[in-house]
Amino acid sequence: MSGFSGASGTGGKPKSEKVTFTDRYVLKRTIEIAEALHSRYGVDRKHYAIAVAVAEDKNGSSHKLISSSEGAQTGGKMRPDVQHLAPPQADETIVDGFQHAERNIVSFVMSNGWTLKSIGVTMPVCAECQIAIGLYEIRAVTIEREPIQAK
């Protein structure tokens, strides 16, 4: 396995806020997908942003969502080779869309009347996506650096 050691948050919540189950899933899965992208594309992984999120519906049920930034090339889906390396799980919904991955998810969450609880992205978040995510008063977990390779 490669060595993504963690992730950093930007904006939003105060640092003292406890890490929820939702955040732990998002962190783990974002690292897993970033590792899959890295093993396939190396440093070029940053050409392909994938976002992982948890949203809550009006009944309080959680929904796990994954989206990719390359809707125009892949019909809104994750790249097949990345799907192979980090396969979607049975309880995850792939969100189609043609915007940045983060905004695909925010649009989907809004159109369902849900609330975004946590989101992770395999690379730094652009200003427009930060604003969209900020509507839910959360910060994105992002994977910014390449993994440290064991020697």
> What is the DSSP track for 4-37?
----EEESSS-TTSPPPHHHHHHHHHHHHHHHHH
Among 7, 65, 86, 129, interactor with Zn ion by CB under 5 A? 129
Tell me which residues in 59-88 interact with Zn ion (CB under 5 A): none
Residue where the block lists tokens 């809550």: 56
For Zn ion, which is the closer residue by CB, 128 or 137?
128
The CB-of-99 to Zn ion minimum distance in angstroms stands at 8
126 binds Zn ion (CB under 5 A): yes
Nearer to Zn ion, 55 or 129 (CB): 129
The interface with Zn ion within residues 96-115 (CB under 5 A) comprises 100
Return the number of the residue (94 or 126) whose C-beta is nearest Zn ion. 126
User: Which residues are at the interface with Zn ion (CB under 5 A)?
Assistant: 100, 126, 129
